Structure 1
């Protein structure tokens, strides 16, 4: 594994790696990379490169991750990839990056889990239960990938057990009265309308920010057909989250009139221009300011979607209709998410069965 040095016109000495390898198709190929400051860096690059060509469980975790992410980039949305890469870089690679995947056993997974559980952030708080679950699931997904494609005998995460919880417990929502109290404290008309749409339609934030003028239908419906995201400074229009997320949502007259009135004041708007010019971070900031001004317990922007679902439950709409309006892939998702909002339904059923027996 030699490395070679060369001299620039300025007299500066640098190193380069120059080697051959066999790719996944069986073809022999040449690789060369220049610009290394030391011989050690050039050799390390070659080692890491060749390790990524390894298809056995002797592969380093860091090399496996590179291959895993490259594979997933062709299959997942940029927003999902951004979340994966953030978790992997901060919570997985510092612990397992230099280890071979065949050496990562149940004990090491348990010790890693315990460090995550005991960790305290700058504010003194531990990671949330849902975050712990997400991080652990990501590690398990990578090791499952190794089992399927790198001849790893078994996923050690399965035997180690899980950590965290899938749901955050009590869901934060605003009822209609609280929401209207909040809405009155929003000074910017565009922001107020955006929050109104989120609360009275249950749309996802990305769906709202992707709206263009043609999406507002004269039948007083909103066509949800795309999703907006900003990744590494690049604005993206993506496919809806799931096939069922591609839908139309009926809206009340007052909301339709407010949207049309707002659009009429936007000069020179093209059909492909977004109706709302701001981003999710601006909404996140504004909802905190508005909640404080209204004297309400703060909630997340996404909780307006939960608030809408709660309102529909209170109004007596069945889960199937709520699922279709929210764009859930199945009614099971709706029931799993909002089952706690139906606490008295079982008692109601029992009461009606009593009446039936009396007859």
Structure 2
């Protein structure tokens, strides 16, 4: 065995391998000297390079002592200290399901300090082979990247190993929309047979999300200003209905509403009062007086009920089936087809950025380009005629 002193520590050779030991200060609790030993180098030169790199990290304040906690222990702290209070109930429910059924069984007992990008890459491959969709795996990846970033912030990891793994690519979802004629045909049919007609009308002509419509209060409607204000949303999570903040900050918005829709809302309010008088004590007065859309007994409407009603109506009309959220897409597509500025459409939908609007509704843009060129040619021909 041979050794020599170098800077803040020393190098040592045992058999064919080299190691180095550095003094890294004193323990805050005991006052005893702390040392850091790293081994496994083929040559002394490799050990010296690694030691120099470690010393540089110490001097720049970038060194993170490898964590002795497991992934399970960290995620438990992450969920209770940070995540639970920062997300909506529905998001929390999905995350807890993801942890229990996928992440914890895969590498919950692994040590945080041993995590490498390969752990995450293998995890994504296994889930893909098990039949999980790219979108679901992408959701897990997003969660893990965010969690591991917090581990770096808490100085449990020197860097984020999840960030360098790549989830499977998602196929771009093709949105389904109705034409203006199909929308009108649907509404005419729904008006005569469905108690949810007005909800479908509001969705098609305001672009509001399902939860935003079900969470709408009469106080959120300014009939004189012809405006609906989106201030909250009704969600179903943890097996119960909850009123919560809208999806994003930009989701809180004011929507100018067609007169026809406002007139239908006024009629609906009168019918609501008639039902209240008819049922008397069997009616939830407090809830129904406050909220625009309730059941016949004045209770909240479960979101999934609308999905079934929409499917049923589509079958009756032999219309191409679409999701409730596609009513929102139909609204946006109609506006863009009418030449409405995408920025206005973006604000109306409550998107966080106009980029989302342009990416989502790129299928409408070619037609808009053609119309623009036609209008431009008409304008040029008029100018040439004058000249």
TM-score by length of 1: 0.74
Which one of the candidate residues 287, 293, 303 is aligned to 1:275? 293
3-state SS of 1:236 partner: strand
Please tell me whether residue 295 in structure 1 is matched to residue 318 in structure 2.
Answer: yes
**Segment of structure 1 superposing worse, 136-145 or 300-309:** 136-145
Q: Which residue of 1 aligns with 2:220?
A: 215
The answer for unaligned runs of 5 or more in structure 1 is 1-25, 27-54, 121-126
Return the offset for 1:322: 0.4
Superposed CA offset, 1:248-272 (max 9, x none):
2122222111111112111345443
Q: Which residue of 1 aligns with 2:164?
A: 159
1:214 and 1:188, CA in 2 relative to 1: closer, same or farther beyond 3 A?
A: farther
Which one of the candidate residues 92, 103, 120 is aligned to 1:109? 120
Q: Which residue of 2 aligns with 1:236?
A: 242
1:200 and 1:348, CA in 2 relative to 1: closer, same or farther beyond 3 A?
A: closer
Whole-angstrom CA distance in 1 between matches of 2:153 and 2:109: 21
Which one of the candidate residues 129, 139, 148 is aligned to 2:144? 139
Q: Which residue of 2 aligns with 1:314?
A: 337
Please tell me whether residue 335 in structure 1 is matched to residue 341 in structure 2.
Answer: no
3-state SS of 2:126 partner: helix
**Segment of structure 1 superposing worse, 321-330 or 147-156:** 147-156
Whole-angstrom CA distance in 2 between matches of 1:100 and 1:171: 43
Return the offset for 1:56: 5.8
Q: Which residue of 2 aligns with 1:169?
A: 173
Superposed CA offset, 1:18-56 (max 9, x none):
xxxxxxxx9xxxxxxxxxxxxxxxxxxxxxxxxxxxx96
Q: Which residue of 2 aligns with 1:96?
A: 107
Whole-angstrom CA distance in 2 between matches of 1:139 and 1:249: 36
Return the offset for 1:236: 2.3
Please say if residues 185 and 294 of structure 1, whose CA atoms lie closer than 8 Å, have aligned partners that are also in contact.
Answer: no
Return the offset for 1:349: 6.5
1:175 and 1:107, CA in 2 relative to 1: closer, same or farther beyond 3 A?
A: same
3-state SS of 1:194 partner: helix
Number of aligned positions between the proteins:
299
Which one of the candidate residues 69, 72, 75 is aligned to 2:86? 75
- Aligned residues: CA RMSD: 2.9
Superposed CA offset, 1:50-83 (max 9, x none):
xxxxx96332212222212111122222222222
Please say if residues 229 and 235 of structure 1, whose CA atoms lie closer than 8 Å, have aligned partners that are also in contact.
Answer: yes
Return the offset for 1:345: 4.5
Whole-angstrom CA distance in 2 between matches of 1:252 and 1:210: 20
1:350 and 1:310, CA in 2 relative to 1: closer, same or farther beyond 3 A?
A: closer
Whole-angstrom CA distance in 2 between matches of 1:287 and 1:94: 39
